[in-house]
Structure 1
């Protein structure tokens, strides 16, 4: 039976999730995970790790989606809302799946868990970078989203924390209103 575990850095499941993410990202996307999310939602079936979604919700974090065109996306996205209510969807990783329907079902299970947890933490605005296909998940949960642009990166920023996004093609910057 499938179940989701919410793991913070001191959780015994957190390190296993990071290993899973790092391994798949290097293999699938030829990029590395630099950030360590504040919390990782982990989908298991029995003892088998099927997928993860990460969330950064610490208000002092420099969120990656601020480094994009047009400028000042975060402040326009928040529209006066306190930065305390902002989080970033930091990583989304699934293991091999037999069909697109299984991918979609697992993704919805993880996103529903992540959104519920974010709301409990007082998050009302969720920013993220990804492919346009991610919007389908939010639409299935009837969560309004907005596309802000395409991320731009100078040569690797000092202390870049959220992975090597610049190596990935077709990335967009989104916001979701919870």
Structure 2
């Protein structure tokens, strides 16, 4: 990986990165990415995209990680702070053939850069649905996290879920940023 760029929808790099993410969502997870992330961290090798990580912000619609048991994942994570400080990560999309070691390193760098960027824009609390393995990235970045519950998938249309129902050990996970993560040590 040569560098990471953060793109917003108005950025010239955004559409190309979104196309990359959509293609990999469909190939790997048999579902489409139904939302357009507000922020996309894009990893490059030369001029080629090799990975992305997105973050969605909304103050009205419930996030995927909120559809979990026990109820109240967002309220637990927010601890009384306004909802406009909350966002949700999308899944990583990494190019085919990425080794587990490369995936961990790219994941760490994408997460650090994206979190530092959104921290500067007032996002302090981030939730997502995923496996505990992602928590090792947070641990390496010294970001404390909490398991907020177990996702419930009954109310979500099947075409939006893709491989989620077949996966085991999924959790609603959240973390709060008390500072911007250092991207120097990521």
Equivalent position of 2:48 in the other structure: 48
| CA distance, structure 1, for counterparts of residue 109 and residue 120 of structure 2 | 17
The 1:123/1:42 distance shift into structure 2, 3 A limit, reads same
**Which 4+ runs in 1 deviate beyond 3 A?**
165-168
Instruction: Note the C-alpha offset of 1:61.
Output: 3.9
Instruction: Note the C-alpha offset of 1:118.
Output: 1.7
Contact kept in structure 1, 2:138 and 2:144, CA below 8 Å: yes
Cα-to-partner distance string for 1:79-133 (whole Å, 9 max, x where unaligned): 1111121111123111124532221111111011011012101121111111111
Equivalent position of 1:100 in the other structure: 100
Q: Aligned ranges for residues 1-150 of structure 1 at < 5 Å?
A: 2-150=2-150
Query: Normalising by structure 1, what TM-score?
Result: 0.89
Equivalent position of 1:169 in the other structure: 167
| CA distance, structure 2, for counterparts of residue 40 and residue 6 of structure 1 | 6
Of the structure 1 ranges 107-116 and 21-30, higher mean CA displacement relative to structure 2 is found in: 21-30
Gaps of 5+ in 2: 178-186
| CA distance, structure 2, for counterparts of residue 98 and residue 151 of structure 1 | 27
Query: Normalising by structure 2, what TM-score?
Result: 0.85
Contact kept in structure 2, 1:145 and 1:177, CA below 8 Å: yes
Instruction: Note the C-alpha offset of 1:77.
Output: 1.6
Of the structure 1 ranges 55-64 and 100-109, higher mean CA displacement relative to structure 2 is found in: 55-64
Cα-to-partner distance string for 1:39-86 (whole Å, 9 max, x where unaligned): 111011111101001011233342221111111111122111111211
| CA distance, structure 2, for counterparts of residue 19 and residue 155 of structure 1 | 27
Contact kept in structure 2, 1:53 and 1:91, CA below 8 Å: yes
